[in-house]
A and B are shown apart, each in its own frame.
Chain A
């Protein structure tokens, strides 16, 4: 018998099913439910046990979200690797995507950005969406002799304005972006010659030069020392606080994610979990606690925008 146990933060009377009746589901099936007042529930039946999490809807505050996923299933070769995910990523929100290695974080983000096709479901983008992707610095070619300023200028490139050299406005925007990340003195250096922390700051400068309203960052603190890590996270925080942009950041820094983010997306391919919600609710998830151990409740974050 399947037991549908509502979590502590949602009263049982709030539950409404947006999927075929639960009893029609078999163990291992994916399901998606909605709870009134709670935007997203994604769960997987595992031998009769169900785990859920949710987050308060942001629709009232942000009538036009930047991205909406509906029953989005991500994966490869037509095979979903995660449960169907329903999300509304609002403006000025800070999302952290967490989970173990191989959890499906990058696959989810790539699908969100339109780089990979969804296995099923859909992603709806706001007409004014201007995304920018900050890759892991390790994925950049160490042979390519690209100078810092030329790299940052890439951020200013737009479809329809591809011909010819960079204009004065673009150059000034790139220099300003470099100044914002405290890397103006690096502009003539080769990107490949920079330290990890410097390189990450330049990657952020390119993102700033793109004047995007959605920044997707793939583990921006990977392989950084503590000082650089702190500096980069400070700059990332400024993207939402200073620029009013939305940030979706893949990270392995659980404590920071819980502290900083408005919303958390916890993915765990192995256990078939995709849980979304505010940090204070996500920490209660047995799935998260099974993986990370008991997690401290996040303190109120003065930088959080939600």
Chain B
């Protein structure tokens, strides 16, 4: 089967997932609206609706913030209650933006947005510089290991595009970022309201030689990190067609979480421990010799080992560790506080196991990313360390080494609600995380 020919008007572009964070009134809605507007992602009828809404509120100039207005309750109360997803594209890239409200339930939302993001845009108001909220946003992004950070210093028009103001905020931010272990930070002076340095270079900040926000979003490398990590293939289900055409077909369906898998690779299935060799990688377009992080494929093995749902395939030399106890950080997302002794479910990869939180080991100080004394309870939006005993083993990685296989959910066994985002801690058997 030949690879399909690209169509004349089809561009090959990559997907970048990003998230935004800023405290109230820093101009986050305006910035998101500006990005949508300047990439022509807003269509005529939506613009007309915003224009009507702007006039209804007595405004004259198009209020870009209204473009991202959400549910009626939010509009009526002038607040944002939930993460919203926005889509825009340039000729070379397509963007999925998790737009996170900056207040109420704020950690819950930012953690959600940051969990899938490869880049986070943190906004500050040029007149105020770094505030308490900025540090928290930065800490959450660092905690969830978002690989790329952008500081957008907004409302530069209100400080006359003053370079020293920008540089002061930029270096203050860099210090905090470094202390949190974030390396890739780019700062951009913008005016979301007027569009300076968002999609178009500003004539009012000639001293700034860096990229516009959009140029940077288009240039930042994507997906590379996941491909470099050890290979992990969580098995979702076993395909056994048993049709006349495929009487003996037995394929392991799943999505490569990280790394690269090739035909001929020796693999181990964990936690069960069975070993085999990859004889084929199937896609609906036919077999391939190699598949990389993010791809959904079906894997064929030489032997019928026990590798159903819940198992993870890995290369034996770089296998995840199999544990019955987790040391983890939990970001608590439920109203009811967490106390030691809680019986829960842990969902990791394609496996869900019963578990008991045996101990709370500390609360995370979002300023320092250090743990304080063990708390008696973990409240909504707090992050803390916990020890969790598992009823059955899990094959895990430290979140610090693999974002894709180091995260898990804590679920209420009774009502099924998601209680916490969990991040697997460092391997106690190793000195380095």
Asked if A and B are interacting partners, one says no
